[in-house]
Structure 1
């Protein structure tokens, strides 16, 4: 038995070695064969990168972005340094193509790389190395690039480009997701699927970078249907955008605005207790106590801790009702 195992290892070692490349730093490079898109929104100038791969946590190695600078996708035998170095080159004034040329000029592994860059000025550049595993290819448009390697067939880039262009009326994140979904529908990665990422940054940097670099920042590290999960997360993200605007309206004592925003969030996810709860509180704050009572009753039945939270809200000014109305709301 031991001899048989040793013989198997000797046979498979050369094949395994083909899938491991040691970088210039002496460390193994991630093996992220995948499909991706980098894109710039023509209307807003915002930038996005979307990826799906049959590889764990693809978002930790393939997707990079910085507000007012650009986005990078580095895949196949991934050179992570291309992400940060590529953005640094763009920040120094290089165009997407100039940055890509500089990255590849010093890279001994350029033949196994697949890299795409979109910069904040609207330039796009892409490279598919001649030793990327079939099917490997890319397609560049005016404001985007789609790229894929180790695909089941050669139709993936065209399917991605077609979906992205067809859905020009969508917001950029939804449009990028449509391109990823089209890639999967066209056959996708020959090995299957495991993880996905969607990142969007502002096209113009501001003096509040904490608001600029994560307009959308969603990752699915390990799932049977990563794009379906990414779609769910994006819809949840949209719902919580309404929740955040509702909270801001509450801070400004704009209870009508808060109710509208919380209500919009609840329509997206009607089963979410958090969204139901704050909609009910907004109703109470706009003198619709009886409607709030009906909603809160169902919420308390699902989880009684919300009742205790209701008791605590008047102290901090988030529930502006009379004592009698409060008693009605909690009892």
Structure 2
């Protein structure tokens, strides 16, 4: 029913135009991502982030866009998804955030129902809140960040976001932008409620491995408390950062660092058996079988399939213990 009404709703918003004319301006396939979001850059690391929550399914697939070494874009309200890729392309061509935004809006007849924020790799921000965005709507810019919101319960939301972001300067960028989203929700948030959220953090400069340039890329597409779930996922992401650091330390034969990193990960998620398991396998491969046995025993008790997996590892070189040591491991009760 909502989709059927979109052309008429668009007509009402777009200066009283007839519905048939409004259809050419607003596409019924575009998402109604009325929401609050933040774009920001960490001046110390150069990292750039865009984070969002909305009462709309899978908001991260519509609102948040970013590219390492280029910038980030949040496009919302009556969302023009093309603003994401086109905005980044304009930044990549050498345009400033404001120049990119001006060019996007100049070509868009529906600019007054759009809300857009662009941040470039120098920390310059440009923001637009159309006159026909649903109240309460507004934005606020600060040093290398912008917060923006529409269809909010009240007009304090974006101010609360800015205040929270500025008050948490000591946090890593990902945690800092989440603090802004939490503040928005606490101030009233989306008048319709909440459903999905997303967080994207990209490097300030590109590397030879583009797959590593997205430092954090997390989405909660449908949840009762999406920000709570997004924080849980970010914590899990940080734990696996420790696991990866431990693996790198093993490659360098730096066992004290490896153990420290593995333990840090396990402390964050003590219920995660896989973290403990690969820690144990690493210890076994480094001739620390007694320590490995101590970790593996409760794992095998809780989930017998890990024992079955252990039998398969020597064949592919992932477990390099002697036959006698393997027998000892598999005999754990």
- Asked if TM exceeds 0.5, the reply is yes
- Match of residue 260 from structure 1: 260
- Match of residue 328 from structure 1: 328
Indicate whether 1:18 and 2:12 are aligned: no
Contact 1:266 1:279 in 2 (8 A): no
Contact 2:125 2:145 in 1 (8 A): yes
3-state DSSP class of the match of 2:105? helix
Matches within 5 A, 1:288-307: 288-307=288-307
Give the 3 Å change call, closer, same or farther, for CA 202–95 of structure 1 in structure 2: same
Give the 3 Å change call, closer, same or farther, for CA 312–14 of structure 1 in structure 2: closer
1:107-163 Cα shifts (integer Å, max 9, x gaps): 111111100001001111101011111110111001100000010111111111111
Shift in Å, 1:302: 1.8
3-state DSSP class of the match of 1:37? strand
- Match of residue 210 from structure 2: 209
Shift in Å, 1:276: 1.2
User: 1:26, 1:126 → 2: CA distance?
Assistant: 22
1:274-296 Cα shifts (integer Å, max 9, x gaps): 01111222333444433322321
User: 1:313, 1:299 → 2: CA distance?
Assistant: 16
Give the 3 Å change call, closer, same or farther, for CA 315–256 of structure 1 in structure 2: farther
- Match of residue 191 from structure 2: 190
- Relative to structure 2, which stretch is displaced further, 299-308 or 109-118? 299-308
- Match of residue 232 from structure 1: 232
Under a length normalisation based on structure 2, what TM-score does the superposition of the two structures give? Answer: 0.90
- Match of residue 280 from structure 1: 280
Give the 3 Å change call, closer, same or farther, for CA 208–23 of structure 1 in structure 2: farther
Mark the runs of 5 or more structure 1 residues left unpaired by the alignment: 1-8
Indicate whether 1:80 and 2:71 are aligned: no
Give the 3 Å change call, closer, same or farther, for CA 105–19 of structure 1 in structure 2: closer
3-state DSSP class of the match of 1:246? helix
3-state DSSP class of the match of 1:228? helix
Contact 1:255 1:285 in 2 (8 A): no
Contact 1:19 1:31 in 2 (8 A): no
Mark the runs of 5 or more structure 2 residues left unpaired by the alignment: 12-21
Contact 2:7 2:23 in 1 (8 A): no
Under a length normalisation based on structure 1, what TM-score does the superposition of the two structures give? Answer: 0.91
Aligned length: 320
